[in-house]
Amino acid sequence: MQTEGMRGGRVYLPHAFTEQGIYMLMTVLKGELATRQSIALVRLFKQMRHYFAENAGVISRLSSTETKLIEHDQKINTLFTLMNKYKIEDKQGVFVQGQIFDAYIAFQNIIQKAQKEIILIDNYIDLTVLERLSKKNPNVQVIIYTQPNTQISNIDINKFNTQYPTLTIKHTKKMHDRFLIIDNAEIYFIGASVKDLGKKCFAFMQLEDAQWIRTVLNAL
């Protein structure tokens, strides 16, 4: 039998003998060499039968194990698919001294959730804070409440807005702690100034009750 190959030309199926075919062949072929080859093939088939009979249990268990592994792989793939679809993000955590990069990533993950507005309340900000806020989604408005003696100048604000609009800085002396408000829907308490995240041990957490957003904003 012949079939058309994927890359052109003809592909022929391999030739093979069954055990019954060997017996039929022995009745046709003549000569000492043909007889020896036929006997050898018959012995090989016999050994194969014994092997499968003696190891039927092992083969069955291997087949069952392979089936279970395939099922587990499918379940794991399904789990990862769900995790990618519904991103599971930490709502609180503690970072010890030196975890600067980890704290940076945690902060980035939060601000990148914003689709409309980010409000940061932090008495001590510098250019590194603006650098981190530049990772926000496009067209997300940023409002920072900080001390009047902030190190950020009007030139810094204008340059930021040229590339990452829109940033507004407002001054207040009423706040002690740091807060981050996302889209007027989520509020996070941050135990350290954003510019110092990871330099010393600090904690952050999401305040589950949305009413705290209005409480904090009214206190400004």
pLDDT, residue 91, reads 76
Tokens of 7: 């890359």
Provide the residue range defining the domain that includes 170. Answer: 92-218
Tokens 């194969």: give the residue: 48
Q: What is the CATH number of the domain that holds 174?
A: 3.30.870.10
pLDDT, greater one: 126 or 151: 126
- On whether both 172 and 96 belong to a single domain, the answer is yes
- Tell me the mean pLDDT in the region 167-183: 95
pLDDT above 70 (res 131): yes
Categorize the per-residue pLDDT at 21 as very low, low, confident or very high, splitting at 50, 70 and 90: low
Model pLDDT for residues 176-197, shown as the tens digit of each residue: 999 999 999 999 999 999 999 8
- On whether both 32 and 67 belong to a single domain, the answer is yes
Model pLDDT for residues 105-119, shown as the tens digit of each residue: 889 999 999 999 999
pLDDT above 70 (res 200): yes
Categorize the per-residue pLDDT at 89 as very low, low, confident or very high, splitting at 50, 70 and 90: low
Give the DSSP letter of residue 62: H
C-beta neighbour count of 113 within 10 angstroms: 17
Task: Answer with the one of 33, 52, 83 that is the final residue of a domain.
Answer: 83
- On whether both 24 and 79 belong to a single domain, the answer is yes
Task: Say if CB 92 and CB 205 are below 8 A apart.
Answer: yes
Distance of alpha carbon 85 from alpha carbon 94, whole angstroms: 26
Total tally of structural domains belonging to the chain? 2
- On whether both 77 and 104 belong to a single domain, the answer is no
pLDDT, greater one: 24 or 163: 163
Model pLDDT for residues 27-71, shown as the tens digit of each residue: 665 666 666 766 777 777 777 777 777 777 766 767 777 776 777
Query: Which has the closest alpha carbon to 103: 178, 161, 209?
Result: 178
pLDDT above 50 (res 85): no
- On whether both 96 and 165 belong to a single domain, the answer is yes
Task: Say if CB 184 and CB 213 are below 8 A apart.
Answer: yes
pTM of the model: 0.60
